Amino acid sequence: MIVKDAVIQRLFCDGGFLNIVGESMKADKDVLFTPTLSNFCMVNADMDMKENPDFLRGMSENLRADKDVVLAALTQLGLELRCALGGLNHDVDCLKAAGMLDDEETRVYDCPEKATLSLKFSLGAMCSPYAIKFAKKMGRDPFLKQFRTFNPNLGSKPNCDENFNYTSMDNPCRGTLKTCKFPDDRNAAFDANDNMKPKETSCWRFAFRFHQQESKESNGFMIQIEEMIGLGDGQKMETAMAREVNLKVFRTFTNSMFFDGDGWDSIKVISKAIQEWYDSGCANADLENIFVGKPNKAYLKRPKYETL
């Protein structure tokens, strides 16, 4: 008990101390929540805790898979979900606590157009935080938050052909009932108005293309977030499907490993480009490149428009 009290006292002054204490302490809820968690938030009040997963990473694996613990951490610190375990990084309640998911069923959006996001998977412990930071910024942007936006990272769908990896371009599936290996009744369901929608059991390509088609039909768009090391394989597949759907694509590119680094407000640059497209009457349907990196650092320029 004396050791435990000493750890708690140390954590009053230095929440990061949790990362170097023994596993038994990391698994002790008294250590974590009386007063560690709230004090860690106060001690580090000048930090952007919404972008810092270190506290959750320091917990034991059992606690990182404990929904009550993860929810408490997310509520007080706004931490990323990358370090949650046991499927909690896709749990609806945890996604809402992290500020990544709204009450979609009841929310009314100001714009009738719909948007689709193409980004690397970002809710795994070893994944880049770049995409998740972008999604949070988009949800707070006065213009972009007006669009109902599909974020594929907030759910998980199966792959229709086990002979190929999840994102392989060699898989002939392009998200249509004709090309997908899954039977139609596994991919599609029909509502009371006879409108087709993807199911929980749908192939990820079928579900993604469905949202691309919704965006196209509503005069919406796709935002593709290209990180510094380039597009992921899944994003290349999403680009191919966007080409077939004839969907407007805004592709960001960067010279930085971080989104909005050095005070550079990248989300405003994206928002401005999309507003200008609508102001022009959606005159140019070509892929539009948008630089969102550091303006004071060298980078390889791209043409503003490219044929998709």
Write the pLDDT tens digit of every residue in 168-179: 999 999 999 999
Map out the domains of the chain as residue ranges: 2-97, 114-306
Average pLDDT over residues 225-247: 95
pLDDT band of residue 64 (cuts 50, 70, 90) is: confident
pLDDT of residue 171: 95
The values of phi and psi at residue 218, to 5°, are: -95, 10
Residue 22's pLDDT is what?
62
Question: Please, what is the end-to-end C-alpha distance for the chain in angstroms?
Answer: 64
Report yes or no: 291 and 254 within 8 Å, Cβ to Cβ: yes
Best-predicted range by mean pLDDT among 18-32, 58-72, 96-110? Answer: 58-72
Judged against a pLDDT cut of 60, whether residue 276 lies above it is answered with yes
pTM of the model: 0.73
Q: Summarize the confidence of residues 140-149 as an average pLDDT.
A: 92
pLDDT band at 4 (very low <50, low <70, confident <90, very high): low
How many beta carbons lie within 10 A of that of residue 231, not counting itself?
A: 19
Q: What is the mean pLDDT of residues 97-118?
A: 76
Least confident interval from 93-97, 124-128, 243-247, 264-268? 124-128
Exposure string for 85-115, b = 16+ CB within 10 A, e = fewer = beebbebeebbebbebbeeeeeeeeebebbb
Mean pLDDT for 172-199 is 91
Looking at per-residue confidence, does 92 or 153 come out higher? 153
Q: Read off the pLDDT of each residue in 146-153 and give the average, rounded to a whole number.
A: 90
pLDDT value of residue 157? 86
Lowest mean pLDDT among 63-77, 235-249, 287-301: 63-77
